[in-house]
């Protein structure tokens, strides 16, 4: 009886996990909420799982500059990373937001925003 209860709990846990198993952002460069003194050549986002490398604009990186201008970075997916070349036209001091959208291995779209500051 106890074994069945444990098994039921295990199945419930696994089920919860699989419904949330898109992927998650693990780390970024620049680091989220960091203050940096010079801009990077590349923006790098590392996810927990390999991304789907789809053609078109599914996997995308955009930057919102301190003065509110949005630019799409030229980016590419490699395994669990999305890497974008910094747009040199974006160089003013202040708050930058990186908006990302990626295709998780289960086909779901995962998106979000990270912020960093240039002093
Ligand atoms: Cu999913």
What are the structural domain ranges in the chain?
23-118
Q: How far apart are CA 98 and CA 74, in angstroms?
A: 13
pLDDT tens column, 26-62:
999 999 999 999 999 999 999 999 999 887 779 999 9
As a whole number, the mean pLDDT across the chain is: 88
Confidence of residue 117 (pLDDT cuts 50, 70, 90): very high
Ligand 1 ion: residues within 5 Å (CB): 22, 106, 108
Spatial contact of 72 and 78, defined as CB atoms under 8 Å apart:
no
Tell me how far the alpha carbon of residue 34 lies from the centroid of ligand 1, in angstroms: 29
Look at the pTM and tell me if it is higher than 0.75: yes
Q: Is CATH 2.60.40.1220 the right assignment for the domain spanning 23-118?
A: yes
Spatial contact of 44 and 74, defined as CB atoms under 8 Å apart:
no
Tell me how far the alpha carbon of residue 90 lies from the centroid of ligand 1, in angstroms: 33
């Amino acid at each position: 009886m106890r074994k069945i209860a444990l098994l039921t709990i295990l199945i419930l846990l696994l089920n919860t996990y699989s419904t949330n198993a898109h992927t998650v952002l693990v780390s970024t460069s620049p680091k989220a909420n960091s203050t940096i003194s010079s801009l990077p050549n590349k923006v790098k986002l590392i996810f927990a799982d390999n991304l789907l490398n789809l053609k078109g604009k599914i996997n995308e990186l955009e930057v919102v500059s301190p003065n509110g201008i949005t630019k799409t970075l030229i980016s590419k997916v490699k395994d669990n990373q999305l890497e974008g070349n910094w747009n040199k036209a974006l160089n003013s001091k202040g708050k930058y937001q990186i908006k990302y959208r990626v295709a998780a291995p289960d086909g779901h779209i995962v998106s979000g925003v990270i912020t960093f500051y240039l002093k």
